[in-house]
Structure 1
Amino acid sequence: MLLPLISKYRKKGALAFLSFLLFAGFMVSAHMDSGFTKDRPKPTSLLYVLNADDNTAMWATYEHKLSDWTAQYIIDKLAVPPQINETISSKYGTDFTYTYEAPLKNIPKPTIEVQLDTVINNVRSIRLCITPNRPINRLEVFTNPIDILKADVNGIQLSDHFLQNRNSGRLITNYISDKNFTDINLEFPADSPLELTFYEASNDLLNNELFSIPERREDQIPMPFVLNDAIVTVQKLKFGQ
């Protein structure tokens, strides 16, 4: 039925070439989907992110083409909230690709104590103590765009060069064991509002008793060089003018 119509095209060669390209594309895609083995596994990723301030949670992934393991949780590919990708870091600065709403779990957030808050000569000084209430692997702290004049973490002073070149807003990454607390001392202009965002991460998503995440198949592995298989809590603290 279509033969008379096709015969009217002057550029049959171009049509045939286009058909070949489409066929080749489908074949490559199919090969990529089925080409993972125990010896050449597919990197996969999944995180649970709990916003402790507004009591919401989401699943997140770094995968561009979702594996069937991840697709159990990333059911619809929702846009990633900008503030999440601006903060949660990995070795190569990889951004999340997709998120999806997740059920709320009773993940304990850290205790944040303000032990000092004074203003002298228009310089505001604060001292914080952040204590985990669950086993965690790392704490990350970010700030809004603000001039941090001085900072030390657990008695170690951060360099002026670092403080003046914090393009991402990241202030510290502290790797933690045995629920150790983190002491932070900051000095900043008294007329500048400060917003701190705290991210606690534990690498126990697959064996935490609050979750029932299945093990990966033999042809899948955790994606390397990124925060993965993690439970993350997000919490903010603001100091106004």
Structure 2
Amino acid sequence: MRAPGDLRADARRNRELIIQTARTVFAEQGPSATMDEIARHAQVGAGTLYRHFPDRDALFHAVLTDALERMIALAETTRKQEGLAWDALSRFVEGCAGLRLDLLISVAGSQATQVATTPEIGEGRARLLKILDQIVSAAHDEGTLRHDVGAGDVMGAVSLLIRGLPTLPTDLSAELKNRALRLVLAGMRTDPAPIPPPVPAMTANDLIRRLSTTGPAKPAT
């Protein structure tokens, strides 16, 4: 199998389309989604899929690598574009929460664990944490980020936010995810005033009422 950079333009587009589709399908349906199903969603032939990715391990690896590259690019961009380290950090956390990177936690089992511990994934993870650690250190220096919050804590929060609440109706899950994001960022601040938590608070009765009126989550199609 040739490296992505050696592919013709049309073949490269097909490869990228397959990766994007697989990320969505795995996030919605979990690791049980079949290769043929992914090919159908991507509207490519099974032969095209298997030419690029001969087995599930190869596809898992490509999607995980793509997800890490997206997070790395986001971290690098925010660090360069934002004048304040806190703005870069909060933009990174918000961006990760909206990138549909559910695959990082939704693909389970020994097969996925084996793929996720390959040297390439480990190198990507190290690159991401190095950039994030620089942003975190700068935010400590400017006095905007609590000193008891480290880069590992930020990645832990990002992982939880990525997970979401898939068993709840889509609109309610998105609202609770956004509220949690604001609460997490407010809690990380030395002075949480610039990022007030959601108002008004969502009470237990509010949540019960929303659940009773919106109904169960729709199954993935």
TM-score in same-fold range (> 0.5): no
TM interval, short-chain normalised: under 0.3
Higher strand share: 1
Task: Choose between structure 1 and 2: higher helix proportion.
Answer: 2
Please give the TM-score of this superposition, normalised by the length of structure 1.
0.22
**Pair member with larger Rg:** 1
TM-score, normalized by length of structure 2?
0.23
Larger relative contact order, structure 1 or 2 (CA cutoff 8 Å, min sep 6) = 1
